[in-house]
Amino acid sequence: MGLTRLFRRRRRSSKLTGSTPSSPMASPHSSDLEQVFKKFDSNGDGKVSSSELAGVLHTLGEILTKEDVKAMMAEVDTDGDGFISLEEFIDLNTKKMDSVEVLKDLQCAFSVYDIDGDGSISADELAHVLENLGEPASVEECRKMIAGVDRDGDGFIDFEEFKAMMLLPSS
């Protein structure tokens, strides 16, 4: 998985926690991106190191080699200083994506939440992922989040509901 997908997947995951919605086809709000950037910048020094990136990847369940992490860093580190700055992070997340890339990205994001692989996201799965991302929510809070996008009323988010939620235009 490229870093572009990883960062976009992480940004989209914040939508389930109540952040301002953003579309993958439109420019997200810079304040949303700054909040996500701060999650990656665990030591608060204003830049993301390869070890911070590796930590986020591990939290998201990605098992990658040092070479993979290095390649991801190189993808974004346009000034070559060995770190990802906020500006580089914003540039990465405001690039336009084609529809095939968007669909692949959404499928990757959905699979992060669909822990058991049954094709739907339950309140328990959502609570578990949010806790792993450092944004704990109770199962009851997660049920309320799910109810906001659960078009068929089954208490779960299927891929079509997830896709519709993620493709909402920015407000």
Length of the chain measured in residues: 171
Instruction: Judge contact between 14 and 32, C-beta under 8 A.
Output: yes
Query: Which of 70, 93, 116 is the C-terminal boundary of a domain?
Result: 93
Query: Which of 58, 93, 128 is the C-terminal boundary of a domain?
Result: 93
Burial of 37 (0-12, 13-18, 19+ CB in 10 A): buried
Per-residue pLDDT of the chain (171 residues; tens, 9 = 90+): 445 444 444 444 444 433 333 333 334 456 677 878 888 898 999 999 999 988 887 777 777 888 988 988 988 899 999 999 999 888 877 776 667 777 887 888 888 899 999 999 999 999 998 888 888 899 999 999 999 999 999 999 999 998 888 776 544
Domain match, 65 and 109 both:
no
Q: What is the CATH number of the domain that holds 122?
A: 1.10.238.10
Amino acid at 33: L
Amino acid at 34: E
In a domain, 57, yes or no: yes
SS3 per-residue string spanning 97-119: CCHHHHHHHHHHHHHHHCCCCCC
| Cα→Cα distances 92→2, 111, 131, 162, Å | 11, 22, 26, 23
Q: Which domain holds residue 157?
A: 99-166
pTM of this prediction?
A: 0.52
In a domain, 41, yes or no: yes
